């Protein structure tokens, strides 16, 4: 098969999966008011691989490394900076072309690329074969994936084996000659209810007495014992806002319950090798934060564009403190872009697998996350109180009051009143809405909290060199 169509992807989701949202069981995710939006968003990834423009098609597809058959380019294991650059370009172009992030392959392949790199480091033949065969399977069937790493975790001060019950972290409860049985729950998993396959990776380092928690595998979404409990996202544009013509795009996250789920051995990538859980989690985190910084660039470009637009529609171009804020916003975006490019160019090799530079990747993610709220504050400041109080599109459409709005809500003469209101509604979505609050939390937590990034930065930092420089400067000879 190699490359699936949008329709084939949608049809594959009618597979008896066990999905709940808003307290109700969903028979067909493709037809659900909220989950259907996530389906359409992920489906855009399939629309891109079948795009009529060959330049776009050739960006999102690539020849299979052995057979030359066309496959989705996300399924190419990165071997050099060019392959990593392609991942960034695909992520950024897909947002530009579709208006959303078709997150159907990115996180899953972040997991699988880490699995491949770590299986090689472990030198364990069967995991290397499992990873290779599984890659062939997803290439052939062009599957949509999600990555399930974060466990529910219970009491954060306690390690997995010291919790009130043993299932706060996903673990192996039984094994037989055919496979393993796992129990636990993963949470916040992006696109999970609309993916074909779940790729599981441990969320943290495991100790010797936690070997059952050191487990990684792939499992189809409709496997017996798996239940998805999805969060409600916005679902669509509303008729009270000024919104663009294109359809609303958005994803959803879900908690995934694994209630004694059987996994055949050929789909297992780690089982009990606790010494490698850290390396797997760490390598996944590097790939995943690289995915994150890649998609954050267009997201903060839009945020910066919103600031520049609001300055213009309000006629603030010449105000000194506003210009200072625009310069800081620009530096924020361009630093992120520069670090993303540096992570590609300064990659590290794990055997023959290319990994984005871990130090730079974590610095970029930390830069993005630790300054985001400050940038939002600037956009709120520039935009004015109107982003909290503006009348709605329904008022605009009411002929009894339309002319008052048209007359009094104008700004700079360069823009019509309607254009100003469109800019205001964009600023609302970016900086004064349920969505923007969700983005702020996503910024802090998704792809790991800031503490996780600082830990990795210190782990990767060239501290020895720093100290040598200081000792020389201080005249200390050791």
Ligand X SMILES: Cc1cc2nc3c(=O)[nH]c(=O)nc-3n(C[C@H](O)[C@H](O)[C@H](O)COP(=O)(O)OP(=O)(O)OC[C@H]3O[C@@H](n4cnc5c(N)ncnc54)[C@H](O)[C@@H]3O)c2cc1C
Residues found near ligand X in the complex (CB under 6 A):
107, 147-150, 153, 156, 188-190, 253, 441-442, 445-449, 451
CB of 193 to ligand X, least distance (A): 12
Query: Minimum distance from CB of 380 to ligand X (Å)?
Result: 21
Instruction: Give the shortest CB-103-to-ligand X separation in angstroms.
Output: 8
Q: Are 214 and 274 in contact (CB under 8 A)?
A: yes
Nearer to ligand X, 128 or 163 (CB): 163
Least distance to ligand X from the beta carbon of 476, Å?
A: 34
Report the C-alpha gap between 469 and 466 in whole angstroms: 5
**Nearest distance from C-beta of residue 316 to ligand X, angstroms:** 33
Q: Which is nearer to ligand X, 42 or 107 (CB)?
A: 107
Specify the residue, 188 or 328, whose C-beta has the smaller distance to ligand X. Answer: 188
320/336 Cα distance (integer angstroms): 25
250-273: string of b/e by CB count within 10 Å (b at 16+)? bbbbbbbbbeebebeeebbbbbbb
Q: In degrees rounded to 5, what are phi and psi of residue 79?
A: -115, -10
Question: Measured from the CB atom, is 170 or 382 closer to ligand X?
Answer: 170
- State whether residue 199 is helix, strand or coil: strand
> Are the CB atoms for 202 and 215 separated by under 8 Å?
yes
- Smallest distance, Å, CB 57 to ligand X? 27
Looking at beta carbons only, is 140 or 188 nearer to ligand X? 188
What secondary structure letter does DSSP report for 409? S
Shortest approach of ligand X to residue 190 CB, angstroms? 3
* Sequence-distant (≥ 6) Cβ neighbours of residue 65 within 8 angstroms: 76
Only one residue has tokens 């210009």, namely: 323
Provide the strand spans (E) within 51-101.
61-63, 70-72
We find the least distance from the C-beta atom of residue 363 to ligand X, in angstroms, to be 17
Q: Which is nearer to ligand X, 124 or 445 (CB)?
A: 445
Instruction: Pick between residue 81 and residue 161 the one whose CB is nearest to ligand X.
Output: 161
Contact 290, 109 (CB under 8 A): no
Residue 96: exposure state from Cβ atoms within 10 A (0-12, 13-18, ≥19) = exposed
C-beta of 2 vs 154, nearer to ligand X:
154
Gap between the Cα atoms of 165 and 256, Å rounded: 18
Closest approach of ligand X to the CB of residue 382, in Å: 26
The per-residue b/e assignment along 143-165, b for 16 or more CB within 10 angstroms, e otherwise, is bbbbbbbbbbeeeeeeebeeeee
Full strand arrangement of the beta sheet holding 215-220 = 145-148, 197-200, 215-220, 268-271
Task: Report whether 146 contacts 201 (CB < 8 A).
Answer: no
- The residues with which 346 forms a beta bridge, in sequence order, are none
List the helix and strand counts (H, then E) for the chain. 16, 14
For 162-267, list the strands marked E by DSSP: 171-175, 179-190, 197-200, 215-220, 226-230, 253-264
Closer residue to ligand X, CB minimum distance, 148 or 431 = 148
- Determine the Cα–Cα distance for residues 388 and 425; give it in Å rounded to an integer: 10
Closer Cβ to ligand X, 111 or 344, answer by number: 111
Smallest gap from Cβ 414 to ligand X, in A, equals: 37
- 3-class secondary-structure state, position 290: helix
CB of 366 to ligand X, least distance (A): 13
State the minimum distance, in angstroms, from the CB of residue 254 to ligand X: 9
Q: Which is nearer to ligand X, 149 or 310 (CB)?
A: 149
Q: How far apart are CA 266 and CA 182, in angstroms?
A: 15
Residue with smaller CB distance to ligand X, 193 or 411: 193
């Amino acid at each position: 098969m190699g490359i699936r169509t949008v329709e084939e992807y949608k049809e594959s989701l009618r597979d008896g999966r066990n999905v709940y949202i808003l307290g109700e069981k969903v028979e067909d995710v493709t037809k659900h008011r909220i989950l259907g939006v996530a389906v359409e968003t992920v489906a855009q990834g399939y629309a891109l691989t079948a795009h009529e423009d060959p330049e776009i098609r050739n960006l999102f597809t690539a020849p299979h490394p052995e057979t030359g058959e066309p496959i989705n380019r996300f399924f190419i294991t990165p071997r050099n900076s060019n392959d990593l650059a392609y991942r960034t370009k695909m992520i950024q172009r897909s947002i530009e072309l579709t208006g959303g992030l078709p997150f159907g392959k990115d996180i899953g392949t972040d997991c699988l690329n880490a699995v491949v790199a770590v299986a090689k480091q472990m030198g364990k033949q069967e995991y290397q074969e499992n990873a290779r065969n599984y890659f062939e399977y997803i290439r052939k069937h062009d599957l949509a994936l999600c990555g399930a790493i974060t466990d529910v975790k219970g009491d954060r001060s306690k390690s997995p084996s010291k919790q009130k019950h043993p299932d706060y972290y996903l673990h192996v409860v039984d094994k037989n000659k055919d496979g393993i049985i796992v129990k636990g729950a993963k949470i916040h998993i992006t696109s999970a209810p609309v993916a074909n396959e779940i790729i599981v990776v441990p969320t943290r380092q495991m100790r010797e007495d936690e070997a059952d928690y050191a487990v990684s595998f792939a499992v189809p979404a409709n496997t017996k014992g798996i239940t998805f409990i999805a969060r409600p996202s916005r679902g669509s544009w509303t008729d009270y806002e000024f919104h663009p013509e294109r359809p609303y795009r958005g994803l959803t996250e879900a908690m995934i319950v694994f209630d004694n789920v059987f996994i055949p051995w050929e789909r297992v990538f780690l089982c009990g090798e606790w010494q490698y859980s850290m390396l797997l989690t760490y390598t996944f985190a590097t790939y995943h934060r690289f995915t994150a910084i890649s998609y954050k660039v267009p997201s903060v470009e839009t945020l910066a564009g919103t600031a520049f637009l609001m300055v213009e529609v309000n006629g603030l171009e010449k105000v000194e403190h506003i210009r200072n804020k625009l310069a800081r916003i620009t530096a924020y975006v361009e630093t992120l872009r520069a670090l993303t490019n540096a992570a590609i160019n300064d990659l590290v090799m794990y055997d023959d697998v290319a990994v984005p530079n871990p130090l730079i990747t974590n610095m970029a993610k930390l830069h993005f996350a630790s300054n985001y709220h400050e940038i939002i504050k600037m956009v709120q400041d520039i935009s004015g109180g109107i982003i909290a109080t503006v009348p709605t599109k329904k008022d605009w459409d009411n002929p009894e009051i339309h002319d008052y709005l048209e007359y009094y809500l104008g700004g700079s003469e360069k823009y019509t009143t309607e254009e100003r209101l469109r800019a205001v509604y964009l600023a609302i979505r970016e900086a004064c809405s349920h969505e923007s609050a969700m983005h702020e939390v996503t910024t802090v937590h998704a792809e790991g909290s800031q503490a996780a990034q600082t830990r990795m930065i210190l782990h990767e930092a060239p501290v020895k060199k720093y100290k040598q420089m200081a000792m020389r400067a201080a005249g200390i000879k050791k």
